[in-house]
Amino acid sequence: MDDQGNDQGSTRDTGATDGGRRWAPRLRRRTGRGTPGRPSGLRRLGVGLAVLAVTLTGVVLGVLGGGHVSTDIGPFRAELSLAPALDGGTTVDIPPLGSLLLDSHRGPTHLNVQLGALDQRRTEALIDDPASISRASQSAVEDVRHGVIRLGLRTVAVVVLVTLVLAALVFRDTRRTAWSGGLALLVVAASLGTAAGTVRPQSIEEPRYEGLLVNAPAIVGDARKIANDYTKYAEQLRRIVGNVSQLYTTVSALPVYEPEPGTTRVLHVSDMHLNPTGWQLIRTVVEQFNIDVVIDTGDITDWGSEPEASYVGSIALLQKPYVYIRGNHDSGRTAAAVARQPNAVVLDNSTTTVAGLTIAGIGDPRFTPDKSTAPAAGGLNAPTANELIGNGETLATTVRNSPRPVNIALVHDPSAAGPLSGTCPLVLSGHTHDRQVSTLPQEPGQQPTELMVQGSTGGAGLRGLEGEKPTPLTMSVLYFDTEKRLQAYDDITVGGTGQSQVNLERRVVQGANPSPSPPVTPTPTPGSPGTPGPGTPAPGAPVISPTG
C-alpha cells in the first residue's frame, strides 16, 4: 500500500512538475521575466536606448572636438568647422567686420568659416603680380571645396573613433561597442550627405549680416561695384607703394627748405575709416621720412564697434609715438583700444609732451556712426554747431591753463577750431576729407593760429571707391625747428583707381629761411586723368614715374 501510495504521489508530483513547466513560459511572457541568460523585450529596448545615447554623445563630442580644419582660401588662412544644428546653414566670420549668414544647405550640421590673417608670402605675390588677383578669385571656390571635403573626412574619422572609445568605456562589451561605432558612422554620413544633397550655391547672393556688417549697405553702397573697383585699385597697389618709397629721394631734390639737425618731423593723418591700405602707406612714410611722431585727428573706424578694435593693432607696428583724438565715428571702445597700444597717447581735453612738442587735444563730442563716412555737405545745424564751438572752448581753456606753452592743438571737426585762435600757433583737424590750410580769425594783439585740415588718409574707407574717381589717400609731414616752430610741410597724395601716382607738394611757412631755388613738385603720371585732383601740382614739375 505504501509503495502504491508513493507511486501515486510520484505520479502526481511529476504531473504537477510537467504542468509547471508548461505554464512557466506563459508566466514569464506575461510578467516580463526572461529566461536567465536571455534578454527580454524591455531589456533589449533599454540596451538599444543606451547604445543610441552613447552614439549621439560620441557624435556630438566628435564633431565639436575634431570637426575643424585649417585651410588656405586665396591669400587668407581660414578655419573651417562643423557644429550640430537644427537648420544647417553657413556662417562666415570676417574679423573685424562681423559675420555673413548663408542659407547654404539643410540638415543637422552648421558650417563655420572664419577668415584669419593674410598670409604674407601669398599677399606679396598678389601685389607683385596683379594678374594673380584674378587667378586667386577663381581658385577660391576650389580652395573652399577642398577644405570642406577634408573637413568631412576628418569629422567622420574623429566621430567614429570617439564613439568607439566612449562605448568601450561605458559597455565593456565588444558587440555593443561595434554597434555604437557603426551607428555613429551612419549618423554622421547621413548628416553630411543631407548637407551635400541640399547645397544652394545661390545662397552666396542672399547673405544676412551680423555685427558691423549689418550696416554694410550704408558703408559700402553697391558691393559689386566696389568689389570691381577695388580689383582695379589693387592692380595699382604695387606701383603706388613703389612710388611712395621714392618720395624720400624726391624730397632730397627739393632745396626750398633744408631741415636743420634737430628738426622734429610729425606725420599728420586723419579719417582712416578702416582702410588697411592706409597703414601700409603710413609705415612707408614713417620709415622714409624718419618721422618722430604720428598725429591722428580721428575717425580711425567707421562704427566704433568692438570688432573694429583689432584694426588699431597696426599702431604698435609703427614703433613711433602715436597721438590720437576721437572722431565722430569713433566710440569710447575705439579710444580704449588705441590707448592699449604701447606707443599710443589718447588725448581727451588733456595735454602731452612728445619729442619736445606739447600737444593738446579733445575728442569729438558727437558719436554719429550711422552717417555716411563722407561728411554731410549741407552744413551744421545750430545745436551741433554750438556743441562743437563749446568743445573748442573747453580745449582752449585747457590750453591756456597748460603749464607749458602748447605747440599744437587737435580737434576732429574744424568747426571746433575757432575758440582756439590765439591760444597756440597750430591747430590740426580732419573730418571734411578735404585738405585745407588757413589762418583762424584773430583779435588784435593775438598770435596768429594756423588751421591745417587733413583729407582722408584712408581714402574715405571702402565708400571712397564707389565713385568714378575714388577719394585719394592723403597725409602731411610737418617740420618743426628746434624752437618747435613750424617751418615747412609736405602734402602727400596717393592717387586712386587708374592713377598709379604719388604727388608731393612742399610748402614753406612764411618766416622760414628757404634756399633761393624754385619749388619742385611731381606731376601726375601718364595715363591719369587730365583734370588735377586734390593736391595735384601745377604742370612743369618733375615726374615720379611708376615702378615696374
Contacts of 497 (CB under 8 A, 6+ apart): 229, 232, 233, 236, 465, 469, 470
110 is written with which cell numbers?
Answer: 552648421
Inter-residue contact 66 to 162 (CB < 8 Å)? yes
Inter-residue contact 71 to 119 (CB < 8 Å)? no
pLDDT of residue 503: 81
pLDDT of residue 536: 33
Query: d(Cα 217, Cα 214) in Å, to the nearest integer?
Result: 8
Residue 540 pLDDT class (50, 70, 90 cuts)? very low
How many CA atoms lie less than 13 Å away from 514 in the CB half-sphere?
A: 17
**451-457: average pLDDT:** 94
Which residues are bridge partners to 502 per DSSP?
Answer: 494
Residue at 388: amino acid letter = L
Residues 257-315 have pLDDT tens digits of 677 888 999 999 999 988 877 888 899 899 888 999 999 999 999 888 888 888 899 99
pLDDT of residue 261: 85
Residue 199 pLDDT class (50, 70, 90 cuts)? confident
DSSP reduced 3-state for 293: strand
Contacts of 461 (CB under 8 A, 6+ apart): 219, 272, 273, 274, 275, 302, 373
pLDDT of residue 129: 55
- What letter does residue 202 receive in the DSSP assignment? G
Query: d(Cα 384, Cα 307) in Å, to the nearest integer?
Result: 28
Strands 357-361 and 350-354: antiparallel
**242-262: average pLDDT:** 59
Comparing CA positions, the residue from 490, 520, 522 lying closest to residue 503 is: 522
Residue 154, Cβ density class (10 Å: 0-12 exposed, 13-18 middle, ≥19 buried): middle
pLDDT of residue 334: 94
pLDDT of residue 235: 47
Query: d(Cα 16, Cα 23) in Å, to the nearest integer?
Result: 10
Comparing CA positions, the residue from 241, 239, 256 lying closest to residue 505 is: 256
The per-residue DSSP string of 265-322 comes to EEEEE---TT-HHHHHHHHHHHHHTT-SEEEE-S--SSS--GGGGGGGGHHHHH-S-E
Q: Out of 63-67, 133-137, 263-267, which region has the weakest mean confidence (pLDDT)? A: 133-137
DSSP reduced 3-state for 402: coil
Q: 123 vs 76, 221, 236, 246, CA distance in Å?
A: 9, 26, 14, 22
Query: d(Cα 33, Cα 25) in Å, to the nearest integer?
Result: 9
Instruction: Give yes or no for residue 467 having a pLDDT over 60.
Output: no
Residue 31 pLDDT class (50, 70, 90 cuts)? very low
- pLDDT mean across residues, the chain: 76
pLDDT of residue 371: 60
Query: d(Cα 448, Cα 408) in Å, to the nearest integer?
Result: 13
Residue, of 438 and 250, whose pLDDT is higher = 438
Residue 518 pLDDT class (50, 70, 90 cuts)? very low
Residue 441, Cβ density class (10 Å: 0-12 exposed, 13-18 middle, ≥19 buried): exposed
- The phi, psi pair for 299, rounded to 5°, reads 60, 50
**181-187: average pLDDT:** 90
Instruction: Give yes or no for residue 27 having a pLDDT over 50.
Output: no
- The phi, psi pair for 459, rounded to 5°, reads 60, 35
pLDDT of residue 356: 95
The ranges assigned to domains in the chain are 45-206, 239-369+383-508
Residues 400-449 have pLDDT tens digits of 999 999 999 999 999 999 999 999 999 999 999 899 999 999 888 889 99
**146-157: average pLDDT:** 88
Residues 521-532 have pLDDT tens digits of 333 333 333 333
Assigned fold of 239-369+383-508:
Purple Acid Phosphatase; chain A, domain 2 (3.60.21)
Q: 23 vs 28, 213, 285, 438, CA distance in Å?
A: 9, 75, 100, 112
pLDDT of residue 352: 97
**323-348: average pLDDT:** 95
pLDDT of residue 99: 72
- The most confident of 50-64, 136-150, 363-377, by mean pLDDT: 50-64
pLDDT of residue 515: 44
Region label for 173, one of left (φ > 0), alpha (ψ between -120 and 50) or beta (otherwise): beta
pLDDT of residue 46: 84
pLDDT of residue 131: 55
Instruction: Give yes or no for residue 232 having a pLDDT over 60.
Output: no
Within 10 A of 369 (CB to CB), how many other CB atoms are there?
22
Residues 468-499 have pLDDT tens digits of 567 788 999 999 999 999 999 999 988 754 45
Q: Out of 64-68, 156-160, 448-452, which region has the weakest mean confidence (pLDDT)? A: 64-68
79 is written with which cell numbers?
Answer: 578655419
Residue showing cell 590740426: 428
The model's pTM is 0.55
- The most confident of 40-54, 64-78, 473-487, by mean pLDDT: 473-487
Instruction: Give yes or no for residue 166 having a pLDDT over 80.
Output: yes
Inter-residue contact 162 to 185 (CB < 8 Å)? no
The per-type count for the chain, helices as H runs and strands as E runs, is 13, 19
